[in-house]
Chain A
Amino acid sequence: RKEVEQDPGPFNVPEGATVAFNCTYSNSASQSFFWYRQDCRKEPKLLMSVYSSGNEDGRFTAQLNRASQYISLLIRDSKLSDSATYLCVVNGARDTGFQKLVFGTGTRLLVSP
């Protein structure tokens, strides 16, 4: 079983739609969680951290369910510029300050006019 699993997509949505991505992780000792975004032929960049209480940043909402080892990302009012691959990332290291970021395979989002 992969450490971090995501549906690879692609998710094809029209502008203005709401879309949700899910991710599951296998290591119950994981301490921290993130969503990264990767544009085609570019490097990954942090989109947002994911907190146990859930957090929101503009049109983006992230949720964490530790009991189910499940992370989600909700994008409201999709823009063309949201087209990218969204990577679910888990810090698999013990909380020593040394992190081992484990990436999912990513979910591709295509937003069309």
Chain B
Amino acid sequence: DTAVSQTPKYLVTQMGNDKSIKCEQNLGHDTMYWYKQDSKKFLKIMFSYNNKELIINETVPNRFSPKSPDKAHLNLHINSLELGDSAVYFCASSVRGFGGTEAFFGQGTRLTVV
């Protein structure tokens, strides 16, 4: 009964490969996010979707393509992986609410590109 779940938890792959990370939330939230946490632990937003519609795209290389088949799922596909893509990727969700609302995070996917 995990609220926000991501798979896989760990992903080791070679440069140039294409990989996907899946995210599902069972909280009934309308808004979902992808964040990247780099080696310096800096957590930066990549994308935000509300009810399957892209709201935020933070100048992420177009090798990264999010897909939201329904409001409970937000997957991240990465083409032609590069060494610099190695990081922890967190999925999150929140209700849409004025004044700011709590974001619930998944456990993270630790991606290592070799």
Task: Give chain A's interface residues, CB within 8 Å of chain B.
Answer: 31-34, 42-46, 49, 85, 87, 91, 95-103, 105-106
Contacts and interface: CB of A to CB of B under 8 A. Distances in A.
Given A31-B99, A91-B100, A99-B103, 15 more contacts: A31-B100, A32-B99, A42-B107, A42-B108, A43-B107, A44-B105, A46-B103, A85-B41, A87-B43, A95-B98, A97-B96, A98-B55, A103-B42, A103-B44, A105-B40
B11 interface: no
B25 interface: no
A101 B55 CA distance: 13
Q: Is the interface of A mostly helix, strand, loop or mixed?
A: strand
Interface in B23-73: 31, 33, 35, 40-45, 48, 50, 55-56
B102 interface: yes
A106 B42 CA distance: 8
Interface of B: 31, 33, 35, 40-45, 48, 50, 55-56, 90, 94, 96-103, 105-108
Contact of B100 (A44, A49, A106): A49
Given A32-B100, A45-B105, A46-B102, A102 B50 contact: no
Contacts of B31: 98-99
- Minimum-distance CB pairs A-B, first 4: A32-B100, A43-B105, A91-B100, A103-B43
A68 B43 CA distance: 24
Contacts of A87: 43
A60 to B, nearest CB: 16
Contact of B90 (A43, A46, A98, A105): A43
B96 A98 contact: yes
B5 to A, nearest CB: 11
Nearest to B4: A43
Contacts of B43: 44, 87, 103, 106
Contacts of B48: 98-100
Contacts of A98: 31, 48, 50, 55-56, 96
B45 A102 contact: yes
B25 to A, nearest CB: 13
B100 A43 contact: no
